Amino acid sequence: MNTKISKSNGYLVFGADVILFILAHLLSYGIRFEFSLTESSLHQIISVLPFIVLFKAFVFWRVGIYRGMWRYIGMNDMLRLFKAVLFSGLVIIAVMLFVYRFSGFSRAVFILDTTLTFLFTGGLRFCIRMFYQRKSSDQGFFGIKRNREKKPVFIIGAGDTGERTLREIAENPNLPYQVTGLIDDDSGKWGQSIHDVPVLGGIESLKHHTETYNVKEVIIAAPSASGAEIRKIVETCEACELKFKTLPSLSELIDGKVSIKAIRDVDYKDLLRRPPVDLYIEQIETYLKGRVILVTGAGGSIGSELCRQIVRFKPDMLILFDASEANLYNIQMEFRHRVGYLNCVTILGDVQNRAILDQVFRRYKPHVVFHAAAYKHVPMLEQNPWQAIHNNIRGTRVLMEETVRHKTQYFVLVSTDKAVRPTNIMGTSKRVCELLLQAFQGNGTRMMAVRFGNVLASSGSVIPLFQSQIARGGPVTVTHPEVTRYFMTIPEATQLILQAGALGKGGEIFVLKMGTAVKIAEMARDLIRFSGKEPDQDIQIVFTGLRPGEKLYEELITEGENIVSTDHRNILVLEPDLSWKGLGSQESFRQQIICGVDELCLLAEKQDTCGIKEKLKEMVPEYKVQDSECVL
């Protein structure tokens, strides 16, 4: 334990404590004997006081009472002080009993001494804390208000997060806020106050109180609120012409810490808030902790967040594999300088390169592979279908073959809802990857796929496009008024991928529950409002028509697929595909799929678009071929 006294102020407090030890003992005698001390009492005081003072000082020093920063004394410090006082008091009583048998001594004196010691030393620390708090706040030590220009604000949420936000604002003189009231829908809190700030009422009363207190801005301190609740708050704030900021959701606050520094503008993911993902930590640790993990596409949106989540489970080594030099460098620098995780290796290469993969597997012997590398942009791949074959299909096949050959324990394929009844090259290529997974399953490696929808803020996501269009003054382009998509945040998606990997026995396709589908047109309108503009007035929304390969509605499962629940409430599973049974054996099925992939690769080498689509249709009968033009 660190017992060093902290700077010169610590010595002053130490000296003050010694004086208080003496006063506590003298006052204990005074109270016990009604301030009428005999010569015998004075003799007792002189005989035991040096021991009492020295022993208390030693205990206080030994438990680290003097090593803290006095302006930040809190409950933990007071608890440590209480333990030190109680321990020293009990030991002193035990010594008096052993040495003197309490002959001639009053037991009440020593009980009073322990009580007064805590009150005096605790009171000293409380005064120090109040002095610094008053000194740094808008009020001087004597409560005289200082003239500082601060914005009056309301905090929405009178729970623990609201209290911490309020306290931090009050204690930080550099923040430009003055909290004048709290808003909370819990009627049991109305009329009460937190740190002398009243809880004024519910969200419905916001307009009335805004006019009364002349407030122009609110801070939403409700990290556990659902997306629907956040939407209601935002709509009310907009109706009252209030600016609004928020604290992150619980799923973003991984460490559980809330700080005023985390306050940010409300963005679209706040409207999609779902309950935080429940991770079965022990289950995930069994296949990640102390293991070597390979992540392909490690610099991309999904891959990089996968890596951040994996590091939490303390792998022995993390292999970052990516074809993009810039993305790989960025994630490497993040781990080195911000995360502080140094036990990672960066491999710049393509998953189609068998020689590089062979060397990676030979040298590092990964236990788990997460395959997140893929081309995902639907219109781009409609125009360049051969790249979907080379990168998505051939790359997955090569990686699976190396995984099986080197006896890797787990392989997790990141798939997509666009693989369900696909209408585009990208979705069909991912469905072929799922078929490859079924074909290779059963060779000693647990292989499973995870299928989910769109991810907010991922590369190619529609939200950055809308934001850039809004910044330019519009118009915002939406393909169709009725087009809907499922959305999930990147942390939520990657956490569920890790959980699905732990649940898999081999051959499954896991489906993540995506919540309610969102209309893209409504999303565009929300983003326009967040920018302080009015949709269809300040910024126009223009409908451009569905792009090649796009659907109006996305699906997560195909009709007839055998989907069942799992132990995790947010994850469903499609039972392993046994379609190979019609061919007599899984080996026959494997050969059929591999031959199909070989043909696709030959067609891709020749950029034969029609041939590629025909072969994909043969391998994936539910594929609805689109008549789209290619660049070559």
**Would you please indicate which residues are annotated as catalytic (active-site) residues?**
418
Q: Sign of torsion, CA 458 460 461 467?
A: positive
Separation CA 432–CA 389 (nearest Å): 10
| Rounded CA separation 331/307 (Å) | 9
Instruction: Give the CA-trace dihedral at 175, 180, 185, 186, to 10 degrees.
Output: 100
Residue at 276: amino acid letter: P
- Pick from 340, 289, 277: nearest CA to 490: 277
CA distance 487 to 518: 7
| CA 526 – CA 270 distance, rounded (Å) | 11
| SS3 of residue 573 by DSSP | strand
Phi, psi of 177 (to 5 degrees): -115, 150
Helices (H) and strands (E) in the chain, counts: 21, 22
Q: How far apart are CA 536 and CA 478, in angstroms?
A: 13
DSSP helix/strand/coil, 355: helix
Give φ, ψ of 449 to 5 degrees.
-120, 155
| Structure-token pair, residue 174 | 């550099």
What is the CA angle 9-15-18, rounded to 5? Answer: 145
8 Å CB contact between 489 and 272: yes
How does DSSP assign 486-536, residue by residue? -EE-HHHHHHHHHHHHHH--SS-EEEE---S-EEHHHHHHHHHHHTT--BT
